[in-house]
Amino acid sequence: MEITSPAFKQNSAAALADGQLQKALGNVRAGFIDKRRKAIDALPEFEQLRDNARDIKDHALAHLDLYLEAYEAKVLASGGKVHWAESAEDARRIVIDICKSVNARTVTKGKSMITEEIGLNDFLSENGVRPVETDLGEYIIQLRNEHPSHIIAPAVHLNKEQVEADFRRVHTHLPDTRSLEEPEALLDEARTVLREEYFRADVGITGANFLVAETGSSIIVTNEGNGDMTQILPRIHVVMASIEKIVPTLEDAAQILRVLARSATGQEMSVYTTLSTGPRRAGDPDGPEEYHVVLLDNGRSAMLGTEFQDMLRCIRCGACMNHCPVYHAVGGHAYGWVYPGPMGAVLTPSLIGVDKGGQLPNASTFCGRCESVCPMHIPLPKMMRHWREREFERGLNPATQRYGLKLWAFVARRPALYRLATSLTVRALALFGGRRHRFRALPLAGGWTKYRDFPAPEARTFMQLAKEKGLAAKGRAP
Amino acid sequence: MNDRASKPAAPRVGLFVTCLVDLFRPTVGFAAIKLLEEAGCVVEVPLAQTCCGQPAYNSGDRADTRAMAENTIQAFEHFDFVVAPSGSCAGMLKLHYPDLLKGDAGWEARALAFSDKVHELTSFLVDVCGLTGVAATLGDTVTYHDSCSGLRELGVRAQPRRLLASIEGVRLVEMREADVCCGFGGTFCVKYPDISNAIVTKKTEAIDASGAKTLLAGDLGCLMNMAGKLRRQGSKVEVRHVAEVLAGMTDTPPIAGRG
Amino acid sequence: MSGREAILRRVRGAMKVHAGDTGRAEAVQARLANAPKGVIPARGQLARSERVDLFCKMAAKLSASVERVSASEAVPASVASYLRERNLPAALRMGADPRLVAMPWNQQGALEVKSGASDGNDEVGLSHASGAVAETGTLVMTSGGDNPTTINFLPEHHIVVVDAADIEGDLEAALERLRARFGKGEMPRTVNLISGPSRSGDIEQKIILGAHGPRALHLIVVG
């Protein structure tokens, strides 16, 4: 699937004009925000847990190399295998090799943003292996060949009529006459169709919310149980995880789990929180015969030790986008790739380059709501500003913007010139603003006046008036 | 806060008027002075002030921002307090100047010392001066929008409401999602006008639904954005800066005139 | 250079550290050994009988059905009732858990009890929980012949027996029990922390039960 992040503006325009999408986005505002609020109100220790979660992750990142080594040792000791993938290409190759080792035809997948990031599904299909997404939202968008539009609720941009249309189009073996009007019927159908796939799969691929160094375990959280079916039925269980998913101990995972589900969906725990360690043991009647962990770098190590390191604390809860006024306006697809909303605005330029992803950190009002709800205290607006600084240094922002700002800065650095320029401008504007005290149109302000009137100033600047009233002071105090 | 205990007898306040107030609505500046003087402060307006530097800062131009920061600090650091009728400018001065000048041998300490003195207007009146009410009257139903920087960077929320509640004749109603962004975002509204419009449209819907006749807030950028939209939509809601109402200075026509 | 070496080298380079730095290595060993607990919410910190009540209350909130019996001997009759009330076939699948096996199943003559992992053809599965967490109404299930993991997921109805004595106040205490049972740093293949029956909100954000895992979760709390 292609990356369209550079076309964020065009994507947004389409999104704003899409009535169906706008209606669906209403669900995000009302649903996720209220549910999270209720869950937090029911847990007095939430703020302390946030602080502790941040500290745990910071400690893990500061010692990442050592925890990765400790983790690997435990995985090996439990009979699992660990593969280290520097790049997306390396990761894809490792996975296809594992699939080929058992002549895999069908692969089931639990929800994994990493696999979206590396374009795994397309690659598997091209190489003769059929990937089947099992998370209902991911399954739906797989049918539509779309990116997810939200990292927790991939199909949040769709209504049930659209889902029904897709099911009818693809599940051609089922009778036309069946009713799919209610969401329950759609879920039942997905359950039946996917149940067959779970048993058909030779390999099951999941992501990981956490990798626990103490025990060599991977942890996933789901509400559906799809990640579990994916890993216990096939011969091989493959875990795809980026290196920053490491936490030191089971207790550390427990601490962060407490803020994860609450921040994501307002649940206290996801229905299924599963800790997987190695392949089945001797005497186990079920479980995979092989357990492989693919550790992915793909740009994470390049974020360590930089002003973007804090972004590695992200636990992919989605709270930031749930609370973002820009995301509410345009939805996830406008961001053009895998990671939308505020976390996508910070992460995408790191992973695909600021030249391709640079629009995203610019499309923010810096309202700060994302940072205020982030369970890991990630300073998202600050990092978006850092991206703007990188772009400024490279001269990547539009010329008109640069010149406009340069002009403003030039004048603002010279108080006397500033006084003169502002009083002249204001006098002119006030004259033209007339009796209604506003402009319907104003040269150079087309972006503003397309949708809003522009308030006219009063006839003189404050500094002019203050000077006249003897309130202004030239120099320093006595 | 312990600021009250350490406050000298007649505190000397430097008014950071903000470029928007300077250019577009001096009334707000004079209202601020009136409120501060009535609270027992001696107010001065340094001529050397221009802009806090946010437009350059949020566009990634640290060098120009630094220059403006140094200019501002130099003009104000000798006052007891620095007060701005704007959460975003006060936030810039208080939180971001120290960030900008961190690591600079000469300016880091000055920026920190300066930062300690900076306050947004309504929170200064309530938290530092101990003001519990104002003498204004206003027979009107008003609603208050929480500007993002003031709210999230400086914790300004209860203070303006406290002062508004003390106004004789006023009825304060809360709009839904009062603490959600209005879509101004400084340069954002001109860089992404369509998205900004979508956001401000939701905000004006909430304002209309609140039943208020007057919209108030503590940041002129937000106010100009919301006023411009309300007027374009043909709404009758009038828009003012909260300082004007608190100071009883409502002779000036509302922002962007009347509907 | 292998991917492993390359990644570790880049990580160390980014943090400006050396592999041989003993201070860092000690900090890591200490944390792994001591596993500090962090912030434990007060909610689950109750005396035993209140803990059990809280567990039942939290589980019910999650749409699990909860029944309390005084002794494990009562379980087979309770299970038989559950099946009858829902017009389910008188058959169930369970593992080799000695606590389950010891129950008087022969008193429920009509009930067919199948043993082993589930193959997806069972309407009803029965497991015994390793433990439970009162704070969130969560079950702790461990893999193996006693309680095969497939029984947790494949049947339409999942019935779980919970010993009141095994209900901890918080997740950390439940994890400590796992450590005590399996050894420090050791785990069974799968530990499932289960909070309610399976569900999805992926269609228009409406929550529907019975996504891929069991549609119904029934808990029998003993003691």
The Cα of A458 is separated from the nearest Cα of chain C by a number of Å equal to 50
Question: Going from the N-terminus, what domains does chain A have, and what CATH number goes with each?
Answer: 43-296 (3.40.50.10420), 406-468 (no CATH)
Does pLDDT of A478 surpass 70? Answer: no
Distance from CA of C99 to the nearest CA of A (A): 18
For Cα atoms A250, A374, C45, give the angle at the middle one, nearest 5 degrees: 45
Q: What is the mean pLDDT of chain B?
A: 95
Task: Give the residue among B20, B37, B148 at the shortest CA–CA distance from B85.
Answer: B20
Query: What residue spans in chain C does CATH classification 3.40.50.10420 cover?
Result: 43-222
Which class is domain B141-246? alpha beta
C60 shares contact with chain A (CB less than 8 Å): no
Cα–Cα distance measured from residue A243 to residue A237, given in angstroms and rounded to the nearest whole number:
18
Q: What is the dihedral of CA A303, A305, A309, A312, to 10 degrees?
A: 70
Percent of chain A with pLDDT over 70: 99
A452–B231 CB contact, under 8 Å: yes
pLDDT band for B5, please (50, 70, 90 cuts): low
Residues of C in contact with A111 (CB under 8 A): none
How confident is the model at residue C75, as a pLDDT? 97
State the pLDDT at residue B2.
Answer: 52
Q: How many CB atoms lie within 10 A of CB A469?
A: 11
Q: Other CB atoms closer than 10 Å to residue A227's CB: what's the count?
A: 30
Cα nearest neighbour of C20 on chain A: A66
pLDDT at A361 over 60: yes
- Give the position of tokens 């193959």: C119
Per-residue pLDDT tens over the stretch C75-99: 999 999 999 999 999 999 999 999 9
Q: Which of A141, A268, A289, A300 to mutate to test the interface with C (most CBs of C within 10 A)?
A: A268
- With b for 16 or more beta-carbon neighbours within 10 A and e for fewer, the A437-464 pattern comes to bbbeebeeeebbbebbbbbbbbebbbbb
Distance of alpha carbon B19 from alpha carbon B49, whole angstroms: 9
Q: Across the interface, do A228 and C201 touch by the CB < 8 Å criterion?
A: no
Rounded to the nearest angstrom, the gap between the alpha carbon of residue A264 and the centroid of all alpha carbons in its chain is 12
Nearest Cβ partner of A225 from C36, C208, C213? C213
User: What are the chain A neighbours of C14 within 8 Å (beta carbons)?
Assistant: 301-302, 304-306
Residue C211 has a pLDDT of: 87
Asked whether the CA dihedral A459, A461, A464, A469 is positive or negative, the reply is: positive
**Per-residue pLDDT band at A236 (split at 50, 70, 90):** very high
**Tokens 């996508």 sit at which residue?**
A344
pLDDT in tens, A395-453: 888 888 888 888 988 999 899 999 999 999 888 888 877 777 888 888 777 889 999 99
Q: Give the model's pLDDT for residue C204.
A: 84
The model's confidence at residue A216, banded by pLDDT at 50, 70 and 90, is: very high
Which CATH number is B8-128 given? 3.40.50
Chains B and C touch (3+ CB pairs under 8 A): no
DSSP A18-32: -HHHHHHHHHIIIII
What is the ipTM score, two decimals? 0.97
Taking the CB of residue C123, how many other CB atoms lie within 10 A of it?
14
A139 burial via Cβ count (<10 Å: 0-12, 13-18, 19+): buried
Cβ neighbours for A100, distance < 8 A, ≥ 6 positions apart: none
Question: What is the pLDDT confidence band of residue A27, given thresholds at 50, 70 and 90?
Answer: confident
Fold classification of C43-222 is Rossmann fold (3.40.50)
What part of A 106-125 touches C (C-beta under 8 Å)?
Answer: none
Return residues 59-88 of B near A (CB < 8 Å). 59-62, 64, 67-68, 71, 78-79
Provide the pLDDT for residue C166: 97
pLDDT tier at B4, thresholds 50, 70, 90: low
Q: Which of A10, A335, A365 is most worth mutating to test chain B (most B CB atoms within 10 A of its CB)?
A: A365
Half-sphere exposure of A325 (CA within 13 A, CB side): 30
Look at residues A216, A294, A251, A135 and name the one whose alpha carbon lies nearest to residue C189: A216
> Rounded to whole angstroms, how far apart are CA atoms C107 and A258?
43
Q: pLDDT class for A29, splitting at 50, 70, 90?
A: confident
Chains in contact with C, counting 3 or more C-beta pairs less than 8 Å apart as contact: A
Chain C, nearest residue to A67 by Cα:
C28
CA distance A430 to chain B (A): 9
Mean pLDDT of chain A: 94
Mean pLDDT, residues A328-357: 96
Interface chains of chain B (3 or more CB pairs under 8 Å): A
**Minimal Cβ distance to B193: which of A390, A415, A448:** A448
- Please state the rounded mean pLDDT for residues B9-19: 94
**Res A30: pLDDT:** 78
Quick one: average pLDDT of A233-253?
98
Q: What is the reported pLDDT for B201?
A: 97
Q: Which of A63, A153, A254 has its CB closest to that of C28?
A: A63
What percentage of chain B carries pLDDT values higher than 70? 97
Distance, CA of B240 to CA of B227 (rounded, Å): 9
Q: In chain C, what's the furthest Cα-to-Cα distance? A: 70
- Domain segments of chain B: what residues? 8-128, 141-246
Q: Which of residues 234-263 of A touch C (CB under 8 A)?
A: 243, 248-252, 254-255, 257-258
Question: Chain C: nearest CA to A293, how far in angstroms?
Answer: 13
Best of B24, B30, B80, B207 to mutate (most A CBs within 10 Å, chain A): B24
Put simply, the answer to whether B198 touches A363 (Cβ < 8 Å) is no
Segments of chain C scoring below 50 in pLDDT: none
Q: Do domains B8-128 and B141-246 have the same CATH topology?
A: yes
The single-letter code of the amino acid at A223 is N
| CA–CA–CA angle A195, A279, C159 (5° rounding) | 50
User: Which one of A56, A159, A225 has the shortest CB-CB distance to C212?
Assistant: A225
**pLDDT for the residue A89:** 97
| The pairing of beta strand B118-120 with beta strand A246-247 | unpaired
Q: Which of residues 69-128 of C touch A (CB under 8 A)?
A: 95, 116-118, 120
Q: What is the chain A residue with the closest CA to C138?
A: A269
Q: What is the mean pLDDT of residues B139-162?
A: 97
B191 close contact with A: CB closer than 8 A: yes
Q: How far apart are CA B238 and CA B259, in angstroms?
A: 8
pLDDT for A477 equals: 43
| φ/ψ (deg, to 5) at A221 | -125, 130
**Hey, which residues 165-204 in chain C have their CB within 8 Å of chain A?**
171-172, 175, 178-179, 185-204
* CA dist B153 → B88, B93, C92 (Å): 8, 11, 59
